[in-house]
Amino acid sequence: MSGSVKERVELAHNAAGRAVPTMVNGKPQIPFLGAGKYQPRARKAAPAICSNKDYPDSGDKRVANLETALRNCGLRDGMVISSHHHLRDGDRVALMALEAAAKIGVKDLMWFPSASFPSQQGAIDLMKKGVIHHIEGSMNGPLGDYCTQGKMRGMGVLRSHGGRYQAIQDGEVHIDVAVVAAPAADFFGDADGSHGKSACGSLGFALADSIYADRVIVVTDNLVPFPCVPWQIQGNNVDFVVEVESIGDPAKIVSGTTQITRSPDRLRIAELVAQFLRATGIMKNGFSFQAGAGGIALAFVEYLKQMMKEDGVKARFVRGGSTKFLVELLQEGLTDYILDGQTFDLDGVQSIANDPRHVATTPFTSYNYHGKGNFASLVDAVVLGATEVDVNFNANVVTHSDGRLLHGIGGWQNCLFAGCTILALPSFRDRIPVIVDEVTTMTGPGEMIDVVVTERGIAINPRRTDLLHAMAVQGSKLPLRPIQDIKADIEKICGKPARPKLGDRPCAVVKWVDGTVLDTVWQVS
């Protein structure tokens, strides 16, 4: 595999004014052209034709262990092996598979996780040993550091959940072997996430892998007699089933209880967001919203719930990451449905297993750019975080201001397509301003970001004249301020920060949802 960062890299300036590599890991790239500007014309990728005759009539696809399964899949040097992250920091399967690959002597794999977590830092060793060539997928914590220190042989490629589906569909990434960790499965390979000792809720992130990979291995610690229902993953796409003692650490797969922030400043931000939705009239009967599992987002749900009750307002649907706070909305009749992409706590897992109004969704239904529409743009308002946002409303979620890669994109980019995109964040953290002149790494273009809510006021993107108008008509007492004013406030308190020196060698790229290159993550000196 070519494309080592040690080679000289050609750069081009994209429509957002960012310098991006024209080649990534040996593949030519299209620089970002602007949101909604890129139109690929080709047919979608497809896996090779397979035949029933090659699979046992008994339906029993079990093999003894992962090594056998990988051997039977024909895993070779330089192939692409994928995994999903529904077990989050509790996952044992991805590393188990990569270590099994090491045992059978395979080198230079590209690991293609839907996200990686700190507990998977064992992958660093495997990169040092040459088993893994590079990672395309979010890199959190130690793996992110390894990448931005320029130690990875290939370039990291960061994609959103939807962008990952898109990259598979348009053939940019071809998965040779997909490894699907399953909290419940039968011998045929039907798999479900909401039952078993390692239950995690939805398995949506593994859907594309199961459909498009040449070979699919289901790994479970809870083998049930056929049929395993509901089959979130269909056995008809599965080659082998491996039974293991444990696919993950339940305590880290879901948190027992998700915690609302206790910081008075963050509570204030959450309340301002809810008040904003009420004041603009976005909060009305039949509306929809999405909020993640961060402390501010959870508190926002609690404030909004109170206001919905006071005003007699009911949502048609809310989108997860689900938590007990969304489950309570459902149970109290304040929403008709939860459309859930991933399940963060025990209440969420129990609800998705037992309540037909709590529906598992996938990146295909929710986020995929190559679908005939997706749910993200149907959502009235979404509340997101960011590490930085600049005065043009461009935002960063992947790097810290010092350039270190520390977070994945997740569904964040895809969510920007909601009717009203709100970033809820403290205006500074540990003296470091969050509102800056220019973001370190652009993850979302400012044209897609509508409102920034901080503890020092609410800034509406001047492009959203409709929201500005709605607030003016309302005569709202909410603290609306130009984003530059909030930035000036913070700089008065914190002082103007020096810009950290970034290296001139790209070590990863940030893809936009359509597969074009939005920005570059530079090696940290």
Residue 192 belongs to what H/E stretch? strand 191-192
Tally Cβ neighbours within 10 Å of residue 109. Answer: 28
Rounded CA separation 442/67 (Å): 40
Rounded CA separation 521/503 (Å): 9
Stretches 21-29, 197-205, 490-498, 507-515: which one binds another protein (CB under 8 A)?
490-498
Among 150, 230, 497, 503, binds another protein (CB under 8 A): 497
For residue 96, what are the contacts with CB-CB under 8 A and spacing of at least 6?
A: 66, 219, 244
Rounded CA separation 428/142 (Å): 24
Long-range Cβ pairs for the range 207-210 (8 Å, 24+): 207/232, 207/233, 207/362, 207/363, 207/364, 208/164, 208/165, 208/168, 208/169, 208/362, 208/363, 208/364, 209/82, 209/84, 209/168, 209/175, 209/178, 209/180, 210/178, 210/180, 210/234, 210/237, 210/238
Residue 118, interface with another protein (CB under 8 A)? no
Nearer to another protein, 77 or 485 (CB): 485
Shortest gap between Cβ of 17 and another protein (angstroms)?
23
Residue 494, interface with another protein (CB under 8 A)? yes
Q: Which of residues 38-97 bind another protein (CB under 8 A)?
A: none
Nearer to another protein, 256 or 495 (CB): 495
Residue 455, interface with another protein (CB under 8 A)? yes
Residue 359, interface with another protein (CB under 8 A)? no
Among 394, 401, 413, 414, binds another protein (CB under 8 A): 401
Shortest gap between Cβ of 426 and another protein (angstroms)?
9
Residue 500, interface with another protein (CB under 8 A)? yes
Among 33, 432, 470, 478, binds another protein (CB under 8 A): 432
Shortest gap between Cβ of 293 and another protein (angstroms)?
22
Residue 310, interface with another protein (CB under 8 A)? no
Residue 419, interface with another protein (CB under 8 A)? no
3-class DSSP state of 13: strand
Residue 151, interface with another protein (CB under 8 A)? no
**What is the distance of C-alpha 44 from the center of its chain?**
22
Nearer to another protein, 6 or 262 (CB): 262
Shortest gap between Cβ of 522 and another protein (angstroms)?
14
For residue 422, what are the contacts with CB-CB under 8 A and spacing of at least 6?
A: 273, 276, 381, 382, 383, 384, 450, 451, 452, 453
Residue 475, interface with another protein (CB under 8 A)? no
Per rule CB under 8 A, count of chain residues that contact another protein: 18
DSSP character string of 46-60: -PPP--GGGS-TT--
Question: What mask, x for binding another protein by CB under 8 A, covers residues 262 to 291?
Answer: --xx-xx-----------------------
Stretches 32-40, 248-256, 313-321, 429-437: which one binds another protein (CB under 8 A)?
429-437
Rounded CA separation 452/482 (Å): 10
Residue 309, interface with another protein (CB under 8 A)? no
Residues that bind another protein (CB under 8 A): 264-265, 267-268, 401-402, 429-432, 455-456, 493-495, 497-498, 500
